[in-house]
């Protein structure tokens, strides 16, 4: 995680003044303010504070509270064993000042919201929609137990994305202040839900798979909006939009997260190398560095998660899927896991090289790893391999949270 330190600023200043002006950073006329400004901007671009605050506490709570709560719900019949793993949509943890924490999952979570009305004449019992509130006025009403406010953590999971709200002040020592109602983005969340209903991810991912693009959370909403425009659904326009989405700033933040949480373990440097080569337009190097890592990443994770490696790599992929599905909980939609694994297992990734019709667009391991293909080094193909690595990282991150082993 990049921090704004004196050493970092000095390094950036050295870059400025040696490479741009030939001057040393100690030169009194050097533009020190510019160096600080760019260092601050670089730190902001790779700020992963929100992600760390979401995933690390969740991983800590998982084994101590959340998984035991699901097991208890199975035991008392409120959750069917056939429903495991439970697909998480909503999660709320309540901390009474005395007694054990209470874990609520999905429909058990009740959300109370207040806000300024956008019209007059409401009647008791009348249905209220998001449009009935003045945008920005909505607040979460803190939960209560026996009439007393309690500390809480509230989490929403949607298409490969999380939204977290929390307030611990209710359990603070006496005199430390009252709970504050947290702002709640009701309009945004309602619009997002409507958007997903109008543009189902399954349909989008199926269309992109036809063009050889791996599944990714990055496609919403920019790509969907682009594809809905006249001519936006052509393979060329789709590729152009996806390339724009995965700009250097996107990869800088992903690398910062992977490094901080050691998602790829010892293979992080190889993944970084592939991305850096891609950003430098050396697509041959990017592809050759990335392709061998898929087998190693899956195998490493199966071993670390207590799985069994036997047979070929496709067997290892199936074992990887079995391990993920053996958990009590999924932090993302079930189809997202299916799409990622299916892309590897039944897409062009495993096809015989003789059946690959477009070496510059079809993601295929064998043709590149064994030196069969030439002339495949396109930006589009390199990006497809990187997006597939990104998808696998997403699943690894979620599963490490569930296992309570996140770094």
Q: What is the pLDDT of residues 93-105, one digit of tens each?
A: 999 988 899 999 9
∠194-199-205 over CA atoms, to 5°? Answer: 140
269, burial (CB in 10 Å: exposed 0-12, middle 13-18, buried 19+): exposed
Q: Give CA 124 to chain center in angstroms.
A: 41
∠143-149-151 over CA atoms, to 5°? Answer: 75
Higher pLDDT, residue 45 or 168: 168
Write out pLDDT tens, residues 145-163. Answer: 988 889 999 999 876 678 8
Write out pLDDT tens, residues 280-292. Answer: 999 989 988 998 8
Alpha-carbon distance 243 to 219, whole Å?
11
By mean pLDDT, which of 30-39, 260-269, 345-354, 362-371 is the weakest? 362-371
Is a pLDDT exceeding 70 seen at residue 209? yes
Alpha-carbon distance 399 to 300, whole Å?
14
DSSP label at residue 29: T
- Segment holding 223, helix H or strand E: helix 222-227
Predicted TM-score (pTM) of the model is: 0.83
Q: How confident is the model at residue 403 (pLDDT cuts 50, 70, 90)?
A: very high
Q: Which residue has the tokens 């709570």?
A: 61
Is the Cβ–Cβ distance between 320 and 342 less than 8 Å? no
Other Cβ atoms less than 10 A from the Cβ of 19: the count is 8
Return the pLDDT at 1. 41
Q: State percent of the chain over pLDDT 90.
A: 42
Write out pLDDT tens, residues 314-358. Answer: 899 899 999 999 999 998 888 888 888 887 777 666 666 666 666
Alpha-carbon distance 199 to 186, whole Å?
20
Return the pLDDT at 342. 82
Return the pLDDT at 2. 44
Is the Cβ–Cβ distance between 233 and 199 less than 8 Å? no
Alpha-carbon distance 392 to 324, whole Å?
12
Nearest to 292 by CA among 213, 370, 207: 370
Torsion angle in degrees (nearest 10) through CA of 112, 118, 119, 125: -10
Torsion angle in degrees (nearest 10) through CA of 220, 226, 232, 235: -40
Higher pLDDT, residue 176 or 337: 337
Higher pLDDT, residue 89 or 343: 89
Alpha-carbon distance 294 to 300, whole Å?
10
Question: Average model confidence (pLDDT) for the chain?
Answer: 84
By mean pLDDT, which of 95-99, 357-361, 383-387 is the weakest? 357-361
Return the pLDDT at 269. 95
DSSP label at residue 149: E
Return the pLDDT at 276. 95
């Amino acid at each position: 995680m990049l921090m704004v330190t004196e050493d970092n600023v000095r390094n950036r200043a050295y870059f400025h003044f040696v490479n741009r002006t030939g001057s040393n950073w100690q030169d009194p006329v050097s533009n020190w303010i510019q160096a600080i400004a760019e260092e601050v901007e670089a730190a902001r671009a790779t700020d992963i504070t929100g992600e760390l605050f979401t995933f690390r506490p969740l991983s800590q709570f998982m084994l101590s509270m959340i998984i035991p709560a699901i097991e208890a719900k199975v035991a008392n019949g409120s959750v069917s064993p056939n429903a495991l793993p439970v697909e998480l949509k909503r999660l709320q943890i309540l901390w009474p000042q005395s007694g054990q924490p209470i874990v609520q999952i999905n429909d058990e979570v009740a959300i109370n919201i207040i806000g300024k009305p956008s019209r007059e004449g409401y009647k008791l019992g009348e249905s209220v929609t998001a449009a009935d509130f003045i945008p920005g006025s909505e607040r979460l009403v803190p939960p209560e137990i026996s009439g007393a406010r309690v500390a809480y953590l509230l989490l929403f999971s949607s298409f490969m994305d999380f939204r977290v709200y929390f307030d611990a002040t209710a359990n603070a020592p006496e005199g430390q202040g009252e709970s504050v109602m947290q702002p709640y983005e009701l309009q945004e969340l309602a619009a997002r839900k409507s958007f997903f209903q109008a543009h189902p991810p399954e349909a989008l991912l199926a269309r992109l798979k036809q063009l050889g693009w791996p599944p990714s959370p990055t496609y919403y909403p920019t790509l969907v909006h682009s594809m809905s425009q006249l001519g936006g659904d052509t393979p060329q326009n789709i590729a152009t939009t996806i390339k724009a989405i995965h700009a250097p700033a996107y990869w800088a933040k992903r690398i910062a997260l992977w490094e901080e949480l050691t998602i790829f373990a010892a293979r992080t440097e190889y993944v970084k190398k592939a991305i850096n080569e891609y950003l430098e337009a050396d697509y041959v190097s990017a592809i050759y560095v990335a392709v061998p890592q898929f087998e190693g990443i899956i195998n490493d994770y199966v071993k670390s998660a207590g799985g069994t490696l036997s047979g070929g790599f496709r067997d290892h992929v199936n074992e990887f899927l079995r391990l993920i599905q053996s958990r009590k909980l999924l932090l993302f939609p079930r189809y997202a896991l299916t799409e990622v694994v299916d892309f590897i297992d039944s897409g062009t990734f495993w096809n015989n090289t003789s059946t690959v019709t477009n070496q510059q667009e079809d993601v295929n391991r064998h043709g590149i790893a064994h030196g069969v293909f030439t002339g495949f080094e396109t930006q589009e193909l390199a990006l497809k391999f990187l997006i597939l690595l990104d998808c696998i990282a997403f699943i690894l991150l979620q599963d490490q949270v569930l296992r309570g082993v996140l770094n």
